[in-house]
């Protein structure tokens, strides 16, 4: 269970969230230091300062750090602070970056592009594997469809499908996959029932003031509720959460 804020905004917000998600049972902390933003005028992240904040949160809580790397030349820097390098959906087919994290060697969380097919996802993973790094987690985070009641359409059938095609673990992101905080817990439970090996969820001390993705971030209390239902479903399907 990976949880944390969309963006690392400051030390306090990050530490507070790390403590809360740790207490609720998460094992890793997510948080963006380098933020890929649709608009050049949006908040772009704290960069190295953000990485230091994440490392400090790990120091205190023992949570592993999962954070995104945006460009080939940032790989060594991000790898110095992170335990898992995340490749965002927009970069799923940035092959130079895939090779760079492949050579780096740290575990990689590879997010599926919003219109990528299963074959394209698996071949993107192949760029990392082929560079000598076997530790790749695939992440379903929603695809673009005509549906507008959710930000994306979370395609949970990808989970059992990928399990038949590959031995790589499959993580689900119900926060981006729905875009609405009130749908996240149910879709997290559904993901686990579908067989997901992990979840990555956005949590924020005060979603209404978040610098990015506030509408899909859970409060600490909502996250505890999510952990509760997810834990019960995991037990029902014979998985352990933690």
In the numeric block, the tokens 């875009």 are attached to 179
Minimum gap (Å) between residue 210 Cβ and a second copy: 20
Which candidate, 16, 61, 152, places its Cα nearest to that of 8?
16
Per CB under 8 A, 242 contacts a second copy: no
CA distances from 171 to 37, 116, 183 (A): 23, 16, 17
Nearer Cβ to a second copy (93/135): 93
Per CB under 8 A, 14 contacts a second copy: no
Other Cβ atoms closer than 10 A to 47: 16
Per CB under 8 A, 66 contacts a second copy: no
Distance between CA atoms of residues 122 and 224, nearest Å: 33
Distance between CA atoms of residues 74 and 159, nearest Å: 30
Per CB under 8 A, contacts with a second copy among 199-218 are none
Chain-centre distance for alpha carbon 94: 18
Minimum gap (Å) between residue 16 Cβ and a second copy: 28
Distance between CA atoms of residues 204 and 129, nearest Å: 33
Is 168:185 a contact under the CB 8 Å cutoff?
no
Per CB under 8 A, 148 contacts a second copy: yes
b/e string for 199-238 if b means 16 or more Cβ within 10 A? bbbbbbbebeebbbbbebbbbbebbbebbeebbebbeeee
Distance between CA atoms of residues 131 and 18, nearest Å: 33
Minimum gap (Å) between residue 103 Cβ and a second copy: 13
Distance between CA atoms of residues 173 and 190, nearest Å: 12
Minimum gap (Å) between residue 149 Cβ and a second copy: 5
Query: Site for a second copy (CB under 8 A): which residue of 157, 208, 240, 242?
Result: 157
Per CB under 8 A, 177 contacts a second copy: yes
Q: Which stretch binds a second copy (CB under 8 A): 77-85, 103-111, 145-153, 209-217?
A: 145-153
Query: Site for a second copy (CB under 8 A): which residue of 53, 69, 192, 200?
Result: 192
Query: Site for a second copy (CB under 8 A): which residue of 55, 64, 79, 118?
Result: 118
Per CB under 8 A, contacts with a second copy among 23-62 are 36-41
Q: Which stretch binds a second copy (CB under 8 A): 7-15, 66-74, 78-86, 203-211?
A: 66-74
Per CB under 8 A, contacts with a second copy among 81-110 are 90-91, 93-96
Residues contributing to the site for a second copy (CB under 8 A) = 36-41, 70-73, 90-91, 93-96, 113-115, 117-120, 123-124, 126-127, 130, 143-150, 153-161, 164, 177-178, 182-183, 186-187, 189-195, 229, 232-233, 235-237
């Amino acid at each position: 269970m990976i949880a944390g804020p969309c963006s690392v905004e400051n030390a306090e917000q990050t530490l507070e969230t790390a403590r809360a998600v740790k207490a609720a049972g998460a094992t890793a902390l997510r948080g963006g230091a380098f933020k890929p933003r649709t608009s050049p005028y949006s908040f772009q992240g704290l960069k190295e300062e953000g990485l230091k904040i994440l490392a400090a949160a790990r120091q205190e809580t023992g949570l592993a750090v999962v954070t995104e790397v945006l460009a080939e030349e940032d790989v060594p820097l991000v790898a110095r602070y992170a335990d898992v390098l995340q490749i965002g959906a927009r970069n799923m087919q940035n092959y130079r970056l895939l090779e760079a994290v492949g050579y780096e060697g740290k575990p990689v969380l590879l997010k599926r592009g919003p219109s990528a097919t299963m074959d394209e996802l698996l071949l993107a993973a192949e760029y990392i594997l082929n560079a000598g790094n076997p530790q790749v987690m695939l992440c379903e985070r929603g695809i673009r469809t005509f549906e507008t009641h959710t930000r994306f359409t979370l395609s949970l059938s990808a989970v059992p499908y990928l399990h038949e095609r590959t031995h790589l673990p499959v993580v689900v992101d119900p926060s981006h996959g729905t875009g609405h905080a009130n749908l996240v817990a149910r879709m997290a439970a559904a993901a686990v029932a579908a067989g997901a090996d992990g979840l990555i969820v956005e949590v924020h001390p005060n979603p209404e003031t978040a610098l990015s993705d506030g509408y899909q971030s859970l409060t600490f209390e909502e996250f505890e509720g999510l952990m509760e239902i997810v834990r019960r479903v995991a037990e029902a399907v014979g998985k352990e959460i933690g």
